[in-house]
Amino acid sequence: MLYTARRREDAPRLGPQHIRDGRPRVTQAKNEHRAPVAIDVPVFPDLAEAIAAHPSSPPTFLVTEDGKPFSAAGPGNRFREWCDQGGLPPCSAHGLRKATAARLAERGCTPHEIMAVTGHQTLEQVERYTREAQRAGLADSDWERFEWGQRGHTGNEGSSPTSGKVLSALRKAAPVALPRGIEPLFSP
């Protein structure tokens, strides 16, 4: 679920028939009859590796120990059981979705880019997921500007502490928050 950002009711529906041209193409279950949201995102390399290792016979990627597709609530319930068995603090499958949104924000994605991945329909929904993202990086840049101003710069000199830097370099240098809970780190 981390590499698809799907809701827990969508994850058990995803199967080989949804992967076309290297992209999982699905319609979210939430509001699918009222205001459907189609998701069309690239397959993350780690997910592609897991899909390649998966047997091709089941209609869905997530199956029970008996090889049957999970119910809508099944993967979330099973995830909770695994966390309990591992002695982990309260965690949820939904936390993986939130972790994906937060990490996208931490890596400089815009709210609209995050919405394209998660399927959220409003900026307010994305903000709820990403509120804590980039706090350290933003604080660093704020202090850099503060220090620059303390040295007598007014902002009218035609440059700022970051104006000469390429945006991609700033994103690479921005700190990334440490994982919260048990979610795995994205591959480099």
The reported pLDDT for the residue numbered 96 is: 87
Are the C-beta atoms of 15 and 25 separated by less than 8 Å?
no
**Structure confidence at residue 161 (pLDDT):** 54
Q: Are 4 and 19 in contact (CB under 8 A)?
A: no
Check residue 175 and give its pLDDT: 46
pLDDT of residue 25: 85
pLDDT at 124: 92
pLDDT of residue 56: 66
Task: Give the C-alpha distances (Å, rounded to integers) separating 91 from 84, 99, 101.
Answer: 9, 11, 16
Please count the residues of the chain.
188
Sites in the chain below the pLDDT cut of 50? 163-171, 173-188
Model confidence, pTM:
0.67
pLDDT in tens, 32-68: 888 888 888 888 888 888 888 876 667 888 888 888 8
